[in-house]
């Protein structure tokens, strides 16, 4: 099952400008940045209020990437809602068994060595849902 909300993802055209915006306006802290070549993103994970809540900023690395397509079609804004799971294959199988489409047959690599899959937004009321199995599950999660 789902453990908690892992992060909310926002598509942005310029990662550095977005980090500066969320830091200066909302006092968020940039905890981690990385490039994920496979996903075609440059991303940042920001901490909210010193607790476990996190905002992910996603900027495109190339024109044919999901984030570039999203920005072209919808403009900057909420792109995904991600849930932490303890086992991504089990979570994906359970959702598949309900008749929903998962985007990948096998999990792919996400932020910080996590393993991820997505539920198709058309099967989830217009929300792109990401399942995240962290590289390390912290006690209490």
Range in contact with ligand CMX (rule: CB under 6 A) among 21-29, 46-54, 65-73, 85-93: 65-73
Site for ligand CMX in 94-133 (CB under 6 A): 103, 110-111, 118, 121-122, 126, 128, 130
79 and 9 Cβ atoms separated by less than 8 Å: yes
92 and 3 Cβ atoms separated by less than 8 Å: no
- Least CB distance to ligand CMX at residue 82 (A): 7
Longest dimension (CA), the chain: 44
Angle value at C-alpha 100, between 98 and 103, nearest 5 degrees: 140
Three-state DSSP state, 101: coil
- Least CB distance to ligand CMX at residue 25 (A): 23
C-alpha 107/C-alpha 89 separation (Å) is 7
Residue 66 binds ligand CMX (CB under 6 A)? yes
Contacting positions for ligand CMX (CB under 6 A): 9, 36, 39, 41, 58, 66-67, 69-70, 73, 79-80, 103, 110-111, 118, 121-122, 126, 128, 130
């Amino acid at each position: 099952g789902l453990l908690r909300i892992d992060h909310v993802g926002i598509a942005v055209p310029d990662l550095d400008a977005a980090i500066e915006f969320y830091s200066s306006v909302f006092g968020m802290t940039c905890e981690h940045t990385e490039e994920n070549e496979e996903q075609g993103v440059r991303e940042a994970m920001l901490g909210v209020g010193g607790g476990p809540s996190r905002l992910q900023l996603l900027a495109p690395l190339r024109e044919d990437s999901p984030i570039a397509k999203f920005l072209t079609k919808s403009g900057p804004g909420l792109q995904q809602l991600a849930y932490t799971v303890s086992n991504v294959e089990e979570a994906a199988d359970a959702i598949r068994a309900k008749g929903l489409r998962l985007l990948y047959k096998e999990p792919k690599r996400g932020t910080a060595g996590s393993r991820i899959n997505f539920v198709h937004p058309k099967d989830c009321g217009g929300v792109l849902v990401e399942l995240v199995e962290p590289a390390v599950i912290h006690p209490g999660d």
